[in-house]
Amino acid sequence: MAVTVLYDSNYGSSQRYAQQLAQMLHTTAQRLADVDAAAVAATGEPIVVVSPNYAGQIAGAQWLQRHADLAVPRALCVVGMSKPAEAAAHDPARKALGAVADQVHRFYLPGALAWSKLSLLHRGALTTLSTMLKAKPGRSDAEQHIIDSVGHDSDAVDFAELEAVLDWVTTQSR
């Protein structure tokens, strides 16, 4: 199966997923920042972009928007702290993709939070968010996970979640 695997990563979860997916597909994962979109499109291969949901910003979605003219099948794998089913139900990538949302298949993958590697700014933002969430009745699982994560490293990366992405790639490569 010929496919192009691209990624953006802040703390490593997205890179880990992209590298594992690339290995499973016998290719190499490439950083979004290092890719020539025209060269990628010229291959005619489906594109899978793996990107974190970093404080509501999804760099992979922004890249796909900037390159809306790519005439190949595209998928976006969003890595975050929410459980995949909960993230899919809210589908934040739809909004982030804007006008190209209907042209991009979306997947949601559970990530890791390396508290010990976070910047002071990011730690402060999560601590503040956690404090606000503690006061909220009826928190979601994702919100409770944020509260529980403050001050701790957690890793929910699960490569088995890539099976759905592999299935999508298979259907695009026929």
pLDDT in tens, 146-159: 888 889 898 999 99
pTM greater than the 0.85 cutoff: yes
53-73 per-residue burial string, b: 16 or more CB within 10 A, e: under 16: bbeeebbbbbbbbebeebeeb
User: What percent of the chain stands above pLDDT 90?
Assistant: 63
pLDDT value at residue 114:
85
Token pair of 12 as six digits: 């490593």
The span from the CA of 121 to the CA of 158, in Å, is 27
pLDDT band at 40 (very low <50, low <70, confident <90, very high): confident
Using one digit for the tens of pLDDT, what is the confidence trace for 102-116? Answer: 999 999 999 998 888
Q: Are 141 and 89 in contact (CB under 8 A)?
A: no
Does the structure show a pLDDT above 70 at 80?
yes
85-107 per-residue burial string, b: 16 or more CB within 10 A, e: under 16: ebbeeeebbeebbeebbeebbbb
Domains of the chain: 4-111+156-172 (3.40.50.360), 113-155 (no CATH)
pLDDT value at residue 1:
63
Using one digit for the tens of pLDDT, what is the confidence trace for 54-78? Answer: 878 899 999 999 998 888 999 999 9
pLDDT value at residue 41:
83
pLDDT value at residue 26:
95
Q: Are 4 and 27 in contact (CB under 8 A)?
A: yes
Mean pLDDT of 19-36: 95
